[in-house]
Amino acid sequence: MSGKKLYTRTRGGSVLKEDVHWNYIADVTKDKWHTLLLGVDWEEAKTGKFQVWYDGKKMIDEANVATTMKADERPFVMRAGLYATDWHNHHNHMKG
């Protein structure tokens, strides 16, 4: 989220050379429930899929993309949620 704008992020590449892509989804309406559906084929090579539906409308349909990172021998872990990483950049005050 940035303001009222909803984005997704995919990360490929490796830990030392990330390939990060941000995709705008939609503006979120305050005090209204929304449905977000992800269709993902998790692949570290550029053979994966990344699809997003927002309130029933397909917003992103990407094929032949990397959807995981090559890190080391640890297994892949999928994490979904609202991340407020910008909070740490405001002199230890939560802002956002």
Chunked into runs of 10 residues, the chain (96 residues) has average pLDDT values of 84 73 88 91 87 94 85 69 58 50
Task: State residue 29's pLDDT score.
Answer: 86
Cβ distance 7 to 42 under 8 Å? Answer: no
Q: Is 55 left (phi over 0), alpha (psi -120 to 50) or beta?
A: left
* pTM higher than 0.85: no
Task: State residue 76's pLDDT score.
Answer: 66
Task: State residue 44's pLDDT score.
Answer: 80
Token duo for residue 66: 């990397």
Task: State residue 71's pLDDT score.
Answer: 66
Task: State residue 27's pLDDT score.
Answer: 92
Q: Hey, which residues does 63 pair with through a beta bridge?
A: 49
Task: State residue 56's pLDDT score.
Answer: 95
